[in-house]
Copies of this chain bind each other. A is one copy, B any other.
Amino acid sequence: MRAEFVNPFLSSLVNVLTTMAQLEITPKKPQVKKTEIAKGDVSGLIGMVGPKTKGSLSVTFEEELALEIMSRMLGERPTSIDADVTDMVGEITNMVTGGAKRILAEKGFDFEMATPIVVSGKEHTITHKSEGQIILMPFDSEFGRAYIEICFD
């Protein structure tokens, strides 16, 4: 998978968190997923369907990082991953995918987005079931890790 394809997702998440929560995350090297597993506590998932392709995206957060983002957006810190946090993660998932979609459409790569699903559960793991390569993008922050995974047939 080419960088021009990965970068729009990566920069979308960085931009969304800077804009919505004044929170800085540092992208680490994207990799074709083989052994590293994105373990997290809350994830937003979304399906993508285009005329020539289909795929899926996930954005996974460790609990501390998700709570910090909430706290910066609302001025109050929830004690656990509640309905407000899952709403926020669903919204971030929509914004990241929508941001990347606009950039990729300009390059002639079109897809439509399904509605997002949010999964909540301590240290869950996610497996994208597709013929294509899975690209894992890890992010670091002082509050914990985040991961994007994308995959297209």
Contacts and interface: CB of A to CB of B under 8 A. Distances in A.
Contact of A129 (B49, B90, B124, B151): B90
Interface stretch (A16-24, A71-79, A108-116): A108-116
Interface size class, chain A: 35 or more
Nearest to A124: B121
A37 to B, nearest CB: 10
Contacts of A87: 129
Contact of A115 (B83, B113, B120, B128): B128
22 contacts: A43-B119, A45-B45, A47-B48, A47-B49, A47-B115, A49-B113, A54-B114, A55-B114, A56-B116, A56-B117, A83-B127, A91-B129, A115-B128, A115-B153, A116-B129, A117-B126, A118-B129, A119-B124, A119-B126, A121-B123, A121-B124, A122-B122
